[in-house]
Structure 1
Amino acid sequence: MKTIQRVMCMGALVAASFGAAAQTYGPKDEGRRFNDGSKVVCKNVEVQRNAKDPNRIAGTATGAVVGGLLGNQVGGGNGKKLATVAGAVAGGAAGRNIQGRSQQKNGDRVVERRCERQYR
C-alpha cells in the first residue's frame, strides 16, 4: 500500500512540475519582462476555423465505405477480400483529402492575438 502512495505522490509532483512549465500568456501580459531578460510578445495571427469536423471523420468514413464497396466488386476468394480492404483504405484517404480541400476553401479565417515568451 505504501508503494502505491509513493507512486501517486511522485506522479503528483511530476504533474505539478509540468503544469508550472506550461505557462500561457495573454494580451494582458504583453510587454511583461522577466529576470532572465525574456519578455512576452504578442502577435496577430490568422487562424482558419474550419467546419464542424476538423478531423475529417465524415470524409474518411464515407470514402472508406465507397472504396470498400468498389473494391468488393473486384476479384474472387482471398483476392476479393484484399481488394475490399485496399479499396477501403484508398477510399478513406481520398475522402479525407477531398473533405480537407473543401474545408480549406470554405473555412472561415479569424485573426487571433497570440502571446509567447521570447528569450534573448
Structure 2
Amino acid sequence: MLAAIGALALAGTTLAHAQNYGPEDEGRRFNDGSRVVCEDVEVRRSTSDPNRVGGTAAGAVIGGLVGNQIGSGNGRKLATVGGAVAGGAIGRNVQGNRQEASGDRVIETRCQRVQR
C-alpha cells in the first residue's frame, strides 16, 4: 500500500514537469525551487523540397543542354556531362538562396521548467 502511494506521488511529480509553458509563464516560480525560463530559438519551417531536388534537377537539365552545344564528338559528351554537373550545383545553390530569402527559418519562443 505504501509503495503504491509513493509511486503515485512520483508519477504526479513527473506529470507536473511534463506541462507545456508559454511566454506568459516566464519567471514563474514553483515550491520545489524550479522556475520557467523562455528563450528565442531559430527553427526551420518545413518546406516542400528541403533537399532542393527541384533546383538541382532543373539546373542539371539546363546545364546539360548548354554543354551539349559545345564541341563535337567525345568533347561534346564531356561538355554535356560537365554542364549537367555544374548546372545541378548552381541550381541547388539558387534554390537554397531563394528558400533562405523567402523566410524558411522563423524564431520561436520555447519555455521550459528548470531547477535552480
* TM-score normalised by the chain length of structure 1: 0.56
Q: CA deviation at 1:112?
A: 6.0
* Of 15, 24, 28, the match for 2:18: 28
Does the 8 Å contact 1:44/1:113 carry over to 2?
A: yes
* Of 92, 98, 116, the match for 2:88: 92
RMSD, aligned CA: 2.7
* TM-score normalised by the chain length of structure 2: 0.58
- Aligned residues: percent identity? 60
Long gaps (5+) in structure 1: 1-26, 30-40, 116-120
User: How many aligned residue pairs are there?
Assistant: 79
- In the aligned structure 1, how far is the partner of 2:80 from the partner of 2:109? 45
- In the aligned structure 1, how far is the partner of 2:108 from the partner of 2:63? 38
Higher Rg of the two aligned structures: 2
Long gaps (5+) in structure 2: 1-16, 20-36
Match runs of 1:74-85 below 5 Å: 74-85=70-81
Does the 8 Å contact 1:68/1:88 carry over to 2?
A: yes
